[in-house]
Structure 1
Amino acid sequence: MAVRDSGRGRWRRAGGLLLPLAVTALLAVLGTFHDGWRPAVGALLIGPVLACSRLGARGTLAVAGWSAALALSVGTVRHLAGTPPFVLEYLVLLAGGVLAVRVAGRLTARTAALRHAVQVAQVAQGAIMRPVAARIGEVDVFTRHHCPLEPATVGGDVYEIVNTPFGTRVFIGDVRGHDLGAVQTAATVLSGFRDLAYVTPELTDIAVRLDALVAPDLGPEDFVTALFAEFAPGEVRLVNCGHPPPLRIGRSLKLLQPADSALPLGLGTRPGARRCWLQPGDRVLFYTDGLIEARSPDGTEFPLLDRCAEPLSAVLQSDALDALYAAVTAHTAAPLQDDVALVLCQQADPVADAVHGVTRDTHGCEGRVGAELPRR
């Protein structure tokens, strides 16, 4: 595969060099044999200009030398080489060629620096988005993070799962943007969550404090969608700050919509909390918007409720996530263009209802955190 890619790279470079050489050769022919076409020498500057936007300094230098040689040939054939107008145009051509070479060198240096920065950011993102396949507290957790194909792209997806005195807590977020700043913001949010999750009893307080933490560093149009979850025996408590709602997989699929609409982090969010009951064997899928915004060739978004039942019912959670990604790429008929983070959770050892003195209906009784639980 490496040999094949190297060959393709050579063909691309050869094609990029061929265009300016061919254009300048055509202009030189017109200037030589068409008496009515006058601006032959100055027009040859188009070759180095095209080259500096496509090739490096060496390729641009080669095209500039080619243009200078063609211009001198045109002047010689038409007996204009010693005339003042030709000399002036030729000097302009040489100066333009030198300038094009310098511009190409600067563009190459900037591109190399950007690629290096992106590689560093991708490594940092990989450290942030480490895969999880473990029992954390009393919850079995499996994760996947699928990155887009573009090598110059980094995403803002972030997640974390921690075992705290308050239960197993899950955080998943999506920083607006796909640049280096998104990775830095994601790292800030992740670090803040880790600091707060172990010492802050209420999820809503974590959200408010993270909002205050990231707001000073965000631009006027930047924000972070975030979802906080806390697992307790037979239930999950949710705080949603503008993030896609999690999906509960059990007897049926159900989106666990937030109790109140809340702004994303960085915009002064004041979220509410919601309690959702879980039956034994229920799973909860947390995800970023790259999943539901995946589009088919005709522009249709991925139908989450219609297409997730079978994949997410796989016996093994790891197989379920792989099957879900396969279903999404089958829908798009191509690899995803946006990054997608998936976190699938299932309580490892559910406690019987009688222990908690609560009842649940067949749909899973749900209410706001702090509400009195129904008793037997």
Structure 2
Amino acid sequence: MMGAVTVVDVAIGPKVGLLPLVSLGPAFAPLVGGWRRTAAIGAIALVLTAGLSVYNDLIGVARGYVSIASVAGVTGAGLVAVATRRRREAELASMRSIAEAAQRVLLKPVPRLAGQLRAAVCYMSAVAEARIGGDLYEVVAAPQGVRVIVGDVQGKGLEAVETAAVVLGAFREAALDEEDLPGLGRRLMRSADRQLEGEKFVTAILAEVRDREVSFLSFGHPAPLLLHGSGSVTLPEPSAYALPLGLGAHGPSEPEPFRAEFLPGDQLLLYTDGVTEARDADGRFYPLAERAHLLKERDPESALEALREDLLQHVGGPLQDDAAMLLLRYR
């Protein structure tokens, strides 16, 4: 940039007055470099400005001194900008480390092995650069069986993270204590009604796998997907859906358990509506049931990765909502 200004100024002479444009070099330097690079570019700009002032017979003229002063001033401002940028980068790095610590506490890695089951999870946040958001999941190997929750918090951002923490904390404690799945559901309902304020709510589905059978409780959540060893796909649903967690004040609504066979060779996918409500450029929803064949990869993590890539390809860009998928299969 400074070279182009110099060449044009030499070619056309001092009449146009391009000399102050040399300061564009040190003006843009702080965006991509440190203080050494900014200072070096500023020094080069000062040399060029002084040289062009001599070439254009501007030494001793106010216009020449103003040009040199403007380059020096922009260089000084650039050095201040570099210091400010470095300080903010350090603050951002500190905040990211705190966010990663929060992630490890809130959304712990699910156990790869839970009883006779293999588990894998995929989470995609709709917030740029975020690793946690409004979706939640957990797998607990309890004495009564393997218990799972997948949920979707109303809203986004930090408030959604706080609500997710409330529900996950209650589930992790109750999953080891309650004798049956309906008791676990009632415990979560009481905890959510006590701790969630205002109109906050969480759609969620609970699952319990034992004795080659899976039981569900749905709090207004999308139906689970069962991929059978034969290749057929079913979406078990309750006879009636209950209100989401946290809306107990609007009337009692205890969910009805529903069950399905879960045999060796079968796979169970629990997900949030960020998956099924993802739209392509023509506004068509993601056809999850039609893409269930992608889960036939031998490794559960690879199977979810294939499904994730297909989902992003369908959308053709970033997701507009958080999306979580949790896959269970027999070892």
TM-score computed with the length of structure 2 as normaliser: 0.72
Q: What one-letter code is carried by the residue in structure 2 that aligns with 1:154?
A: R
2:7 aligns with: 29
Secondary structure of 1:274's counterpart equals coil
Over the matched positions of the two proteins, sequence identity in percent amounts to 22
Contact 2:19/2:67 (8 A) holds in 1: no
User: SS where residue 48 of structure 2 aligns?
Assistant: helix
Contact 2:270/2:326 (<8 A) preserved = yes
1:342 pairs with 2:328: no
User: CA–CA distance in 1 between the matches of 2:18 and 2:193?
Assistant: 62
- Structure with the larger RCO, 1 or 2 (CA within 8 Å, 6+ apart): 2
Alignment coverage as a number of residue pairs: 312
Once the two structures are superposed, the pairs formed by residues 58-97 of structure 1 within 5 Å of their partners are 58-97=36-75
1:322 aligned to which of 277, 286, 302: 302
Structure 1 distance, partners of 2:233, 2:262, is 13
Distance in 2, matches of 1:30 and 1:245, equals 68
Give the direction of change, closer, same or farther, for the CA distance of 1:322–1:102 in structure 2 (3 Å limit).
same
2:75 corresponds to which letter in structure 1?
A: G
Aligned residue number for residue 237 of structure 2 = 256
Distance in 2, matches of 1:25 and 1:268, equals: 71
Residue identity opposite 1:277 in structure 2: R
For 2:271, the equivalent position in structure 1 comes to 287
SS in 1 for 2:299: helix
The aligned counterpart of 1:305 is: 289
Q: Which residue of 2 aligns with 1:173?
A: 151
2:120 match: secondary structure: strand
Distance, in Å, in 2 between the alignment partners of 1:247 and 1:103 is 53
Displacement after TM superposition at 1:240 (Å): 2.5
After TM superposition, the structure 1 stretch with the greater mean CA deviation from structure 2, 181-190 or 32-41, is: 181-190
Decide whether aligned partners of structure 1 residues 198 and 332 sit closer, same or farther in structure 2, where only a CA change above 3 A counts: closer
Whole-angstrom distance in 1 between the partners of 2:249 and 2:7: 66
What are the residue-to-residue correspondences of 1:242-253 with 2, within 5 Å?
Answer: 243-250=221-228, 252-253=233-234
Q: Distance in 2 between matches of 1:199 and 1:331?
A: 37
Partner residue in 2 for 1:108: 86
- Aligned with 1:132 (options 100, 111, 115): 111
| Superposition RMSD in Å | 4.3
State the alpha-carbon separation in 1 of the partners of residues 31 and 88 from structure 2: 13
The amino acid that maps onto 2:17 is R
Using a 3 Å threshold, how does the CA distance of structure 1 residues 178 and 67 change in structure 2: closer, same or farther? farther
TM-aligned CA deviation for residue 103 of structure 1: 0.9
Q: CA deviation at 1:74?
A: 1.7
Partner in structure 1 of residue 205 of structure 2: 228
For structure 1, the 5+ residue unaligned runs are 1-22, 349-376
Q: Is the 8 A contact 2:110 2:139 kept in 1?
A: no
| Counterpart pick for 2:257 among 268, 275, 285 | 275
Classify 1:129/1:300 alpha carbon distance in 2 versus 1 (closer, same or farther; 3 Å): farther
1:51 touches 1:59 (CA, 8 Å); kept in 2? yes
Q: Which moved more, 1:289-298 or 1:94-103?
A: 289-298
Deviating more after overlay: 203-212 vs 292-301: 292-301
Residues 181-222 of structure 1 show CA distances to partners (whole Å, capped at 9, x for unaligned) of 766664454224324445673515514533653548xxx9xx
What TM-score do you get using the length of structure 1 for normalisation?
A: 0.65
Distance 1:109 1:183, change over 3 A: farther
CA distance in 2, matches of 1:67, 1:280: 73
Alpha-carbon distance in 1 for matches of 2:57, 2:248: 72
Q: C-alpha displacement at 1:38, in angstroms?
A: 1.6
Unaligned runs of 5+ in 2: none
Q: Which secondary structure state, in structure 2, belongs to the residue aligned with residue 259 of structure 1?
A: coil
Q: Could you tell me how far apart the structure 2 residues matched to 1:97 and 1:208 are?
A: 62
Comparing 78-87 with 154-163, greater Cα deviation is found at: 154-163
- Displacement after TM superposition at 1:229 (Å): 0.8
Distance across 1 between alignment mates of 2:79 and 2:267: 60
Distance (whole Å) between structure 2 residues aligned to residue 193 and residue 61 of structure 1: 57
Per-residue CA deviation, residues 287-330 of structure 1 (Å, 9 max, x unaligned), is 2455446677988654211121x34467xxx7355334324425
Structure-2 residue corresponding to 1:44: 22
| Partner residue, 1:11 | none
Contact 2:30 2:78 (C-alpha < 8 Å) held by counterparts: yes
